[in-house]
Structure 1
Amino acid sequence: MKSLVSLLFLILFLSCNSGNDEISDREEITSILLKQQEAWSNYNLEGFMEGYWRSDSLKFYSGGNLNKGWQNTLDNYKLRYPTKAQSGKLEFKIADIAQINESAYWVMGEYHLTREIGDAKGTFLIIFKRINGKWKIVADSSC
Structure 2
Amino acid sequence: MKKLLIFFCLIATIKGFAQTETADKEAILSVLKTQEIAWTQNDLEGFMQGYWKSDSLKFYGSSGLTNGWQKTLDNYKKGYPTKEYTGTLKFTIDAITKIEDDSYYVMGQYHLTRKAGNANGVFLIIFKRIEGEWKIVADMSC
| Structure 2 length-normalised TM | 0.95
Shift of 1:117: 1.4
Give the match for residue 121 of structure 1. 120
Give the match for residue 28 of structure 1. 27
User: In the TM superposition, what whole-angstrom CA distance separates every residue of 1:20-64 from its partner, at most 9, and x where no partner exists?
Assistant: 011111111011100000000000001100100011100000015
Query: d(CA) in 1 for partners of 2:108 and 2:44?
Result: 20
Q: Tell me the matched-pair count.
A: 142
Report whether the alignment pairs 1:78 with 2:72.
Answer: no
Query: d(CA) in 2 for partners of 1:62 and 1:129?
Result: 20
Q: Structure 2 regions of 5+ residues with no counterpart?
A: none
Query: d(CA) in 2 for partners of 1:62 and 1:117?
Result: 20
Give the match for residue 97 of structure 1. 96
Shift of 1:133: 1.2
Query: d(CA) in 2 for partners of 1:8 and 1:98?
Result: 27
Give the match for residue 46 of structure 1. 45
Report whether the alignment pairs 1:57 with 2:56.
Answer: yes
Give the match for residue 18 of structure 1. 17
Superposed CA RMSD:
1.1
Q: Structure 1 regions of 5+ residues with no counterpart?
A: none
| Structure 1 length-normalised TM | 0.95
Shift of 1:10: 2.1
Shift of 1:5: 3.7
Give the match for residue 5 of structure 2. 6
